[in-house]
Structure 1
């Protein structure tokens, strides 16, 4: 049973209720003196509290998807599969599995689309990173055989797993539904986590002597995907989107690399690179790079390209409101900026689910298939 399954949560709740009832029932017997009674009371109290804590933790994780699996919770990295689909792979992208999208008719890619589990090989950065590639139904249909598709890189927050983008925020299914209804054009989504060297939070920075995260996302990834799938290589063919840390990365890459990405979407993004125990020393004393990683500083002090930006926040519940308003204020032509401002909403999956749908439609309108 998976960490986020209803059965695990139900068992935890039942265990908490059972231990609570046992404590009430047995307490009179255990109120006697003696070491056995004392140990019994301690055991029941500990068991009850642990079961309640587990129930609350499992319920919170199921709602917000902090961890997608038991191995993710325990900090264990899952080994990638060894079966390689050579027909779909290239020297830049290795396809290690395929799965359904959850859309109607999902057993047939031409009807429901398909998700490829891949490893992207960074030629310039030297980084290899797992990802999921959503291919819309049109990608497999004969009428579109000669057509290229726009693509968007989609990042989750930190810590997080790419599976959260599929199961929690439902990017593939949302893109499928909107394309089917005509709200947006069919798009390819490349979904992954923002760190390329887990468990370290690399903040999409080229770390001196460390992982070249910015090079991977800004140069290697679009090059690898365009060489493997029918995606163009021009800026208008590519967008970048993410939540929290992923949102910061999306805005940063689109801001600093307008020659690669036409648009960036930051859901609940912050605006300068975090520096804490999870990141380690990102800049090694290079203050120019530290300032460059501050998006508000960059907007004020560096030339702006022709990228479009979408930023989101909430009037109540989000700590990034002030930074978001300042970001909007500092964007100047030829760049453009749009926003989603909720009346209330915290820094969580419930908020981002309300923003993903309109954000995908907005992003689709800024990209072109040719």
Structure 2
């Protein structure tokens, strides 16, 4: 049975309930010498504790994608993933469809030379007749660290959350893309470093994949980034670094905008990737920021610090600060509808892409006869 997914999770819940019921009924039925009875009851208590802890551990793993299978958990190499098989390039990527409509692929970036998982969801309109010639805006969703694209599925209710909002008319039809933000499990706060090109992976390789496989709008006003925790920092940072690719970004409980010294140890590199410093370049982007008043990992002061240094054409909407909630999926779920509604209003809607008109070729000049002289033309 797979380590991740709901089947194993429900089996553990049933095992925990069974262990508790069995302990209640067997507690007084234990016979034998006193040491034996004590030992038996200690074992029964231990079984209840272990199964309960396992339920919590699997819930955390499903939410953050820490381990994908038993070999991953136990540190065993089963030989199925090797350096010689990095995955296909974007134009040859193969997608598999899951029961909830998500498309999944594993792709090798031609620019970053990194490989990673990408989940894609297309709205119902994508396959409808009246939209068959139209291209769609894109919302890229960036997870936290530790985490994976599945964090949006297990912890944030995707794609159901946005599908319902689209069905209710609160969000315009858009393609949702959920890429891994730290390919290979190496976190750089979505930055390019001398050894890892995580920013290039997200800003070039993933968009190249989507452009090659789906009907998407090309303009920056049709591409938005939204993330939570580290993904929130990444969303703002990437939009400010690549405003010609992403015109909007929303951050829920973002990591400190000044950068994390434990992730980017080089002060110069950390400064180059800090949104507080990137604001000096006046990127033409629109930003939405949200956090909780009680979130110690992402205090409101982090949001107001960026708000103070950002000047037009960088636009920062009035931050959303919840009165309660911690640095957790429950808090981000409360922020998500507002963030998605804001982003939908910022993004260009689905429409037919009109290719630019080609200039008419200039008329060719008549060649002068080889043996004709300028004076001969007047005779």
TM-score range, shorter chain: 0.7 to 0.9
Match status 1:147 vs 2:126: no
CA distance in 2, matches of 1:306, 1:131: 27
Pick closer, same or farther for the CA change 1:148–1:260 going to 2, 3 Å.
same
Q: CA deviation at 1:149?
A: 0.5
Distance 1:20 1:66, change over 3 A: farther
**Which residue of 1 is the match for residue 124 of structure 2?**
137
Residue of structure 1 in register with 2:60 after alignment: 61
Aligned to 1:105: none
- What is the alpha-carbon distance in structure 1 between the residues aligned to residue 103 and residue 346 of structure 2? 25
Contact 2:64 2:150 in 1 (8 A): no
* Partners of 1:360 and 1:186 in 2: CA distance: 11
Q: How many residues are treated as equivalent by the alignment? A: 334
- Deviation digits for residues 238-296 of structure 1 (CA, Å, limit 9, x no counterpart): 111111111111111011111110011111111244344xx5xx46x4x3221122222
Aligned counterpart for 2:322 among listed residues 317, 338, 342: 342
Q: Match of 1:293?
A: 273
Distance 1:235 1:30, change over 3 A: farther
Q: Helix, strand or coil for the counterpart of 2:95? A: strand
Q: Normalising to structure 2: TM-score of the pair?
A: 0.77
Q: Tell me, yes or no, if structure 1 residue 319 matches structure 2 residue 297.
A: yes
Counterpart pick for 1:263 among 217, 227, 248: 248
Question: In structure 1, how many angstroms separate the alpha carbons of the residues matched to 2:202 and 2:156?
Answer: 21
Report if the CA contact (8 A) 2:89-2:109 is conserved: no
RMSD between superposed Cα atoms in Å: 3.0
Match of 1:31 in 2: 34
Report the alpha carbon displacement of residue 320 of structure 1 after superposing the two structures with TM: 1.2
CA contact under 8 A between 2:12 and 2:55: conserved in structure 1? Answer: no
Distance across 2 between alignment mates of 1:75 and 1:313: 36
- Name structure 1 gaps, 5 residues minimum: 81-88, 102-113
Counterparts in 2 of 1:149-168, with a 5 A limit? 149-168=136-155
Matched, 1:189 2:176: yes
Any conservation in 1 of the 2:235–2:250 contact (CA below 8 Å)? yes
Deviation (angstroms), 1:194: 1.7
Partner Cα distance (2:271, 2:24) in 1: 54
1:4-34 deviations in Å (ceiling 9; x for gaps): 43332232243245447656764x85534xx
Contact 2:258 2:275 in 1 (8 A): yes
- TM-score, normalised to structure 1, is 0.79
Question: Which one has the largest radius of gyration?
Answer: 2
Distance across 2 between alignment mates of 1:192 and 1:242: 11
In 1, are the aligned partners of 2:19 and 2:47 still within 8 Å (CA)?
no
Aligned to 2:190: 204
SS of alignment partner, residue 354 of structure 1? helix
Q: Please tell me whether the aligned partners of residues 108 and 114 of structure 2 are also in contact (alpha carbons under 8 angstroms).
A: yes
Shift of 1:49: 3.7
Unaligned ranges ≥5, structure 2: 82-87, 354-379
